[in-house]
Structure 1
Amino acid sequence: MTKTAGAAVDASTIAVDSQVALEVGGHEAVIRQTYKDSVGVMTWSVGMTNATGHHVERYVGKPQTLQHCMDIFAWALTNYARAVRKAFAGHKITKAQFAAALSFHWNTGAIGRAEWVKLWKAGKIKEGRASMVDNWSKPAEIAGRRKKEHDLFFDGKWSNDGTMTEYTRVKANMTPDWSSAKRVNVSAELKAAFSKVMIPAMDKDPEPDAPVPVPTLSPAVPTTPTPIPASTAAERHKWPVWLWLAFFIPIALAFAGAFFWKGF
């Protein structure tokens, strides 16, 4: 796409928006119901696991709307961005560089220790360029993504066209059906995700280090149990009339028999 470096600003002032999210998402895939990744970890939406703080088991066999998937992706991505701002603290970066670094971190979780970041901050641009590609392009399947992140960070070249790969089917063993891939446009959903304030409830403290507002829960998942009214609870302990009769009639007959025989 067109080379658009943009103005460099303090890293702490850059926020995640739909353009940034689209760039990250363009390298990922979305699956609307829970599946198992290559090592058997429960995963959902755009590669999200319970480590985000949002429990994904609730979506086993329950595909969600594309909007819900993008809402939670936007929420999680915003939390991951904190580590990127921390890594570039005290430095000015462009929005393109922020997006590239966030994509790298979403994929590797290594923005805080990557050598290319340290080299760039030290002004060793040429060495940083080489380090990003040479040290972070394994396995081979990731090389294309890393090259795009490299081109975005160092040359300001955005690569996403507003679409993501979606796998529409999950097998009985909970692995994706790779033959079900299709390209879907998620531009509208991500714009909507960043245009509203989400006030959801958390399952647990989030990871990585994010004090999170909250992601929305699936509408199909109950929140708190409905209390049983006292009257209803009491009714459940009442014996039916026939049970009372069955209990007391034998006792009454026993007393009557004892009284009768005593008379003799």
Structure 2
Amino acid sequence: MNEHLKISDRGLVALMIHEGIVPGPYLDSVGVWTYGVGHTRAAGLPDPKYMPRGMPADMDAELSEVGALFRKDIEKYAADVRKAVKVSLAQHEFDALVSFHYNTGAIARATLVKTLNAGDRAGAGRQFMSWVKPVEITGRRKSEQALFLNGTYPTGNINVWQVNGSGRITWKAARVLTSAQALALVGTASAETAPDTGPIGMGSKGPRVSQLQELLKDLGLYAIRVDGHWGQGTENAVATLRSKATEAEKIINPEAVR
């Protein structure tokens, strides 16, 4: 049902804004050894506990390693979301759930997913706020909730934080990356970020279809859920829009439309 979905570039940036980048092992707020963009042993090897401590001698090389590992981790967590969710998702909903699962590891057991699978999207959105321990995570959870419910992506730069040899973040930025620079590390700032200017139509999928559906919904022509898939409902709404545009043009300029 959601087989075509993968986390978008905006979803990757949002996740990196939430996590930050730490180019050496550190202890997170609950004492778990972590590295890079929130990588822990739960995601697989390497185990940050046994990685060299402190800041790297070659920052560029280390950030390349961070980006490659983050991309690998994301594929795992995105696959978990696709497996757990049994209803069709819009891109922004999928991105929010991947961020939630990346942080909690709870996509298979969370009540919000059970609520979502039962068809209650609003209820699922509210249940994001059931996951606010430790309290420092509250801001992130509110951001994920806004993304899930409204498609509102966080914006900003991504901090590369300094870390000492004891695994403590000093909260001094070694670098500050733009979204484009961060995506380049992950290896997606090419095909996925290239302008999509070709025509779309019946059977098309993706963010442009979602944008079209949202516009049609605003015009009162589309009552189905925004899902980024051009099916018969979208086709009918576009046909109605074109028909109304022709009728309007006949009124505006009768000579031009015969």
**Pair in the same fold by TM > 0.5:** yes
CA distance in 2, matches of 1:189, 1:129: 28
Report the identity percentage: 31
Q: What SS class does the counterpart of residue 22 from structure 2 fall into?
A: strand
* Residue in 2 that maps onto 1:175: 168
* Residue in 2 that maps onto 1:150: 145
Pair 1:130–1:181, CA change in 2 (3 A): farther
Q: What SS class does the counterpart of residue 80 from structure 2 fall into?
A: helix
TM-score (structure 2 length as normaliser): 0.63
CA distance in 1, matches of 2:155, 2:173: 21
* Residue in 2 that maps onto 1:128: 124
Q: Displacement of 1:195 after TM fit?
A: 6.2
Aligned AA (1:92): S
* Residue in 2 that maps onto 1:82: 79
Q: 1:29 aligns with which of 3, 17, 20?
A: 20
CA contact (8 A) 1:74 1:194 kept: no
Q: Displacement of 1:60 after TM fit?
A: 2.6
CA contact (8 A) 1:18 1:191 kept: no
Aligned AA (2:140): R
CA distance in 2, matches of 1:132, 1:17: 20
Q: What SS class does the counterpart of residue 21 from structure 2 fall into?
A: strand
- The size of the alignment, in residue pairs, is 183
Mind listing any 5+ residue stretches in structure 1 that lack a counterpart? 1-9, 197-264
Query: Taking CA–CA contacts closer than 8 Å with sequence separation of 6 or more, which of the two structures ends up with the larger relative contact order?
Result: 1
1:1-264 to structure 2, matched below 5 A, reads 10-55=1-46, 56=48, 57-61=50-54, 63=56, 64-65=59-60, 66-89=63-86, 91-133=87-129, 135-161=130-156, 163-168=157-162, 170-180=163-173, 183-191=176-184, 193-194=187-188
Q: What SS class does the counterpart of residue 166 from structure 1 fall into?
A: strand
CA contact (8 A) 2:55 2:164 kept: no
CA distance in 2, matches of 1:145, 1:137: 9
Mind listing any 5+ residue stretches in structure 2 that lack a counterpart? 191-258
CA distance in 1, matches of 2:4, 2:36: 28
Cα deviations across residues 183-215 of structure 1 (Å, max 9, x unaligned)?
43242342451369xxxxxxxxxxxxxxxxxxx
Cα deviations across residues 201-233 of structure 1 (Å, max 9, x unaligned)?
xxxxxxxxxxxxxxxxxxxxxxxxxxxxxxxxx
Cα deviations across residues 85-126 of structure 1 (Å, max 9, x unaligned)?
01113x211111110000000111111111122212212233
CA contact (8 A) 1:67 1:189 kept: no
CA distance in 2, matches of 1:28, 1:73: 11
Q: What SS class does the counterpart of residue 92 from structure 1 fall into?
A: coil
Pair 1:182–1:75, CA change in 2 (3 A): same
57-66 vs 119-128, which moves further: 57-66
Alpha-carbon RMSD across the aligned residues, in angstroms, is 2.4
Larger radius of gyration: 1
Pair 1:61–1:83, CA change in 2 (3 A): same
Pair 1:123–1:191, CA change in 2 (3 A): same
Cα deviations across residues 222-261 of structure 1 (Å, max 9, x unaligned)?
xxxxxxxxxxxxxxxxxxxxxxxxxxxxxxxxxxxxxxxx
